[in-house]
Structure 1
Amino acid sequence: MKPHRTFPRPEPRRTGNGFIIASMLLCVCILSLLKARYCSAPYGKSRESSELEITMGAIRMLAAKSGDLALKGREDGEDNRVLLFDAVSREKAATEVKKPVCIETSRRSDVCEAEGDVRVRASAQTILVDPFLTSQEWKMKPYARKHDQPAVAHVKEWTIKPFTEQEPPSSCTENYTVPAVIFSVGGYTGNLFHDFTDVIVPLFITSSRFHGEVQFVIADAKPWWLSKFSLLLKQLSKYEIIDADNDQDAVRCFPRVIAGLDFHKELGVDPAKAPNGYSMTDFKEMLRRAYGLERTRAEPSGDRWDVRRKPRLLIISRRSSRVFLNERGMSDMAMSLGFDVRIADPDVTTDLGKFARLVNSADVMIGVYGAGLTNIVFLPAGAVFIQVVPMGNLEWLARDTFEKPSPDMQIKYVDYRIQGDESTLSDQYQKDHPVFTDPQSIHKKGWSELSRVYLENQDVKPHLGRLRIKLLEALKRGRPKAVKRTHTIKAVVKDAKAILEQNSGEKNHGPHNGEAKDPVNAPENIQGDLVHANRTARSAGRKRRVAQTSGVTNSDLDAEDSEAHSESISFGGHRKRRQILASA
């Protein structure tokens, strides 16, 4: 009989397994305690608390990307819309909030942005945000010139702060499904340059991404300003403007609020920074829609047989300072070069739409440094802009305000710098005065002194000979290659006659012999050639007469010669008679 095999007892292994299981249970208990101590439960809100919020008519939203939120909506009464979010979305939103509410978007502007349960008490300049977004209080002035104390002195300060469960916000009197943009039209508004560079262009940058689905809340509003720019504001928002200062005790609730406007550069948009990649080309397209501007480019259309109208020169006149003292002489000289000259003196009361259409009709615009030059935004692409820079080492000022923005607007820039004998400063100061010999010493005294001496007390009288060279340069830079004359007058006439004879010979074999011999019955294109040739010959005669009476040489007139034929349209819309001229 085989002996029985004995096996070792398993008790030690059972003891080891029990120890492992006990350790795991202990870890679970510890983790549970830690979670209860440091992590807020997503379902911690009681049912009674939720029902209380509903009865108050509040909008409970969290700061997060709107596309990431699980939205459930229902109507509560006629005017109040209550939006509830599930707890998972709330927890997700809370963990995704990383960026601060207010950031410095440039050296010129601060922008505060909040999403979620955002309530605006405009009359109190207060924005209440969800405490999940921030626990910090912010103060800012929604005007894009934050370090300019004289400017922001006329801008009210706004406060952005969280509400708490202990001090819940007031119930919403109005609920919105579109975001709000809050900005001020205080500061330097009323000056056209500041209207655009401080408000209109930054507003385009900030709000164009919403394609009209945005509510404007305007602080420090001026009724005349809102009326003047109403067509532009309507291009950016489909909704009636809210006047913050006259909003009484309303509490307006938005899903998203942006306070302040994003600034890129003077009269400019940086596509790399713009939320939708827009540029100044898109801004000018908005201006064309708002004011019905017909010309996108300062170029004639058609083939080389088309004749274009006179190139139009617009002189921006001034009344109080930096006045053109020889404006009439400038106009006469420009007309002798073939320009259709218009002189305009815009001011605060000028109808912006009518003036925009006048500027858009110009091929060349000239003016002394000042707010009126802001109208270059209405020039068609390819137009030439001549800035007359007053004396006093002001090239930096002219460069930063109008020269640098010009290329982004597709405008060709030319400058004319005033010399001592062209300035009335020569009548006020001796030639050895620091105003002439050391302008920087005046600059060092600050903007007030610089402005008083060189801007407020200086008129100009450009030398017509020097200015004539600039106008010829403008014609050369502004004229597209497509309309440059490639044939002499005699060659055009010879070609037209040859074509006529060729067609006449072909007609001799047809059923209507002889018809082409009569210019009246000639084919339409040949008639056009002959008419064009006759007009060109008359234009050459007129050019000789202009040269005799104005002292302009034939070589100057021939430098950029092209035949022109157009209907000039005056500022009031009346048509003048058709004119034939050789534009130079």
Structure 2
Amino acid sequence: MNDLGTQKSQLASIKENRGEVEGQGRIARDQEGEGEEMKTVRSYPRSEPRRVVNGLIIGSMVLSLCILSLIRGKSQDLSDRSRRLVSIGEDDEGNRVLLEELREAKRPMCAETNRRSDVCEASGDVRVRGSSQTIFVSPDLTNQEWKMKPYARKHDQRALANVKEWTVKPVSGQTPLPACTDNHTVPAVVFSIGGYAGNLFHDFTDVLVPLFLTARRFRGEVQFVVADARAWWLSKFSPVLRKLSNYEIVDADADEDAVRCFPTVVAGLTFHKELGVDSTQSPTGYAMADFKAMLREAYGLEREAADVADDKWDIRRKPRLLIISRMVSRVFLNERGMSDMAMSLGFDVRVADPDVATDIGKFARLVNSADVLIGVHGAGLANIVFLPRGAVFIQVVPIGKLDWLTKNTFENPSLEMELKYLSYQIQADESTLSDQYPKDHPVFTDPQSIHKKGWDELSRVYLENQNLKPHLSRLRLTLLEALNILPHGRAMAQ
């Protein structure tokens, strides 16, 4: 029994010891688990700086990207602005002209498009008071005041004497912009029809061609504000003006105290060259052919080209010769003989004397019907703008070494109009100057000495006091040359 009790006592002791060991094991495991939890808790503070650093790095990268995007946007904006500024114009040698440095934040308001004209352009809150010839702009656009005359002959003081000066004026923050009396949703083009307007050549080269270059891009959605307006001029060229603008013209001088507000204002007209368009300077790529196409639409002209149709009756019809007559100076003294001789060659001859009062629509249709046009150098030759492509233009050049003048004003432009150009050079015995001066006079022997005395003297001698009587035998050869150029002439020879 004692042995049995002893065994029970030992067994209980073993169980107690094993339970203690197991308990210690559980405690150890619990402590180990608790240690793992504590390790997890303690490891968080050690990883937090790493995460913060990572966050800062990522944030810095995002911020850098934002800054780069802003810089790129600013750079692109400056690049775009630079391109807009550069597109404002070029001088006669093709050099870009800017009137402010590109490094300045504000866009230049005005620039030379050519030595012949200044153009000011502003967008935003722009207000025009025609009665005071003032264009008000926000100081956000520019801080410089500009004065200009919106007529494309800027160095010709005689022409500009009839053109009022306009001011592009930034209004300071302390002085509010004048209140709008009329609000417009389309851009405005401000230009003058003073100067030499009324002379057909200058009507086209100083006003209508530059107006086409300036306003055509708006496709009719533009308001014309006309300075130095003449009602008869606006009426005469109303078909062209209506083709370029869908809105009634604003007479700036008669606009009293109206303040007209526009989203954009262009003051002055873009000029390229005499009676011509340089497509390389035009952002839209317009050429003189586009101007002529616009004229055909404006005046309802039927013939785009002088080519004959396939119809046999059209092929056999007589080619039409139009003689531009003059009544004051550089007059054809044997005009009737010229006409009879031309008819003997097979021409259908018309003689016309355009003047300021001529209905330009009717005259344009007459010119458009011609296959050959002949006339003495002068404003009336500007009617070649209505000739169909491929027609022959013969310019009669008076005595006086005037080739430089006749070339720049009509010969070169006619070639850009896709006309066939011929010239007839007057000889001494075909000019009335031979009745006024001896043969050895500098008028004949040294024309440059007359040129050196200035335009007034040159004009007085060679343009205002010279009439002409071409030798019909010489002129006949020129008309035969013209006839051979025309498809009608080739058909008649068959």
TM-score (norm 1): 0.66
Query: What residue is the counterpart of 1:428 in the other structure?
Result: 436
Q: Decide which of 303, 306, 323 is 1:295's aligned counterpart.
A: 303
Do the aligned partners of 2:106 and 2:142 also contact (CA within 8 Å) in 1? no
* Equivalent position of 1:128 in the other structure: 136
Does the alignment pair 1:184 with 2:192?
Answer: yes
Choose from 464, 473, 480 the match for 2:481. Answer: 473
Offset from partner CA, 1:210-243 (integer Å, 9 cap, x none): 0000000000001110110011100000000000
Is 267-276 or 342-351 further displaced after alignment? 267-276
Tell me the SS of whatever aligns to 2:127.
strand
Cα contact 1:269–1:278 (8 A) shared by 2? yes
Number of residue pairs aligned between Structure 1 and Structure 2: 400
Which residue is equivalent to 1:343?
Answer: 351
Could you tell me which residue of structure 2 aligns to residue 406 of structure 1?
414
The answer to whether 1:365 aligns with 2:373 is yes
Question: Mean Cα displacement is larger for which, 412-421 or 276-285?
Answer: 276-285
1:339-371: per-residue Cα shift (whole Å, max 9, x none)?
000000000000000000000000000000000
1:419 counterpart = 2:427: yes
Pairing 1:278–2:210 present: no
SS in 2 for 1:466: helix
- Please list, as runs of the form range in 1=range in 2, the aligned pairs for 1:188-267 lying within 5 A after superposition: 188-267=196-275
Tell me which residue corresponds to 1:269: 277
What is the letter of the counterpart of residue 115 of structure 2? R
Structure-to-structure mapping, 1:354-393, within 5 angstroms: 354-393=362-401
Contact 2:107–2:141 under 8 Å retained in 1: no
Aligned to 1:464: 472
Pairwise mapping of residues 495-534 of structure 1 onto structure 2 (< 5 A)?
none
The CA deviation at 1:275 is 3.0
Equivalent pairs: percent with the same residue? Answer: 72
Q: Which residue of 1 aligns with 2:67?
A: none
Residue 493 (structure 2) pairs with residue 561 (structure 1): yes
For residue 309 of structure 1, what is the aligned residue in structure 2?
A: 317
From 148, 161, 167, the counterpart of 2:169: 161
- Tell me: CA distance 1:231–1:306, structure 2 relative to 1, closer, same or farther (3 Å): closer
Q: Determine the structure 2 residue equivalent to 1:516.
A: none
8 Å contact from structure 1 (residues 300, 308) kept in 2: no
Match of 2:449 in 1: 441
Instruction: Mark the runs of 5 or more structure 1 residues left unpaired by the alignment.
Output: 1-16, 25-63, 66-94, 486-559, 563-584
- After superposition, give the CA deviation of every residue in 1:224-267 in whole Å (9 maximum; x if it has no partner): 10110011100000000000000000010000000000000111
SS in 1 for 2:316: coil
Question: Which AA in structure 2 matches 1:350?
Answer: T
What CA deviation, in whole Å up to 9, does each residue of 1:481-519 have, x standing for no partner? xx845xxxxxxxxxxxxxxxxxxxxxxxxxxxxxxxxxx
User: Aligned with 1:300: secondary structure?
Assistant: coil
SS at match of 2:462: helix
Q: Could you give the per-residue CA deviations for residues 356-400 of structure 1, whole angstroms, max 9, x where no partner exists?
A: 000000000000000000000000000000000000101111000
Amino acid at match of 2:396: V
Give the Cα–Cα distance (whole angstroms) in 1 for the partners of residues 398 and 386 of structure 2: 24
> Cα distance, 1:304 vs. partner?
6.4
Mapped contact 1:316–1:345 kept (Cα < 8 A) = yes
Distance of 2:313 and 2:460 partners within structure 1 = 53
Aligned equivalents of 1:211, 1:332: Cα separation in 2: 47
Q: Which residue in the other structure is 2:335 paired with? A: 327
Mapped to 2, the partners of 1:449 and 1:234 lie a distance apart of: 40
Give CA deviations for 1:120-170 in whole Å, capped at 9, x if unaligned. Answer: 011000001111111010000000000001000110000001112210011
Q: For residue 214 of structure 2, what is the amino acid of its counterpart?
A: T
Which runs of 5 or more residues in structure 2 are unaligned? Answer: 1-48, 57-79, 82-102
Which is further off, 95-104 or 225-234? Answer: 95-104
8 Å CA contact 1:205–1:275 kept in 2: the answer is no
Q: Report the counterpart of residue 114 of structure 2 in structure 1.
A: 106
Quote the residue 2:22 is aligned against: none
Aligned amino acid, residue 561 of structure 1:
A
> Aligned-pair distance for 1:408?
1.2
* CA distance, structure 1, for counterparts of residue 432 and residue 314 of structure 2: 46
Query: Which deviates the most, 272-281 or 155-164?
Result: 272-281
CA displacement 1:297-336 (0-9 Å, x = unmatched): 1111116686431000000000000000000000000000
The code of the aligned residue for 1:288 comes to: R
The 2-side partners of 1:305 and 1:337 are apart by 19
Q: Which amino acid aligns with 1:172?
A: C
| Alpha-carbon distance between aligned partners in 2 of 1:256 and 1:236, rounded to the nearest angstrom | 17
Which amino acid counterpart does residue 114 of structure 2 have in structure 1?
A: S
Amino acid at match of 1:232: V
1:146 counterpart = 2:78: no
* Structure with greater helix share of residues: 2
Tell me the CA shift for residue 99 of structure 1: 3.1
Contact kept, 8 Å, 1:209 with 1:275, in 2: the verdict is no
Query: Which residue identity does 1:155 align to in structure 2?
Result: V
Q: After superposition, what is the alpha-carbon deviation per residue over 1:506-535, rounded to whole angstroms, capped at 9, x for unaligned?
A: xxxxxxxxxxxxxxxxxxxxxxxxxxxxxx
405 and 307 in structure 1: CA distance in 2 versus 1, 3 angstrom threshold: closer
Q: Give SS of 2:135's match.
A: strand
C-alpha spacing 1:263/1:436, structure 2 compared with 1 (3 Å) = same
Q: Is the 8 A contact 2:226 2:249 kept in 1?
A: yes
SS of alignment partner, residue 213 of structure 1? coil
Q: Deviations over 1:184-231 (max 9, x none)?
A: 000000100000000000000000000000000000001110110011
The 1-side partners of 2:214 and 2:480 are apart by 41
Contact persistence 1:312–1:364 (CA under 8 A): yes
CA contact (8 A) 1:173 1:252 kept: yes
Amino acid at match of 1:196: F
Q: Residue 97 of structure 1 contacts residue 133 of structure 1 at CA under 8 Å; is this kept in 2?
A: no
Q: Relative contact order (alpha carbons < 8 A, sep ≥ 6): 1 or 2 greater?
A: 2
Letter of the aligned partner of 1:180 in structure 2?
A
Give the SS at the match of 1:147: coil
Equivalents in 2 of 1:307, 1:295: separation in Å?
15
Partner residue of 1:498? none
CA distance in 2, matches of 1:114, 1:327: 53
- Alignment RMSD, CA only? 2.1
Instruction: Give 3-state SS (helix, strand or coil) of 2:114's partner.
Output: coil
TM-score (norm 2): 0.78
Distance 2:120 2:213 in 1: 15
1:582 aligns with none
The change in CA–CA distance for 1:360 and 1:253 in structure 2 (over 3 A counts) is same
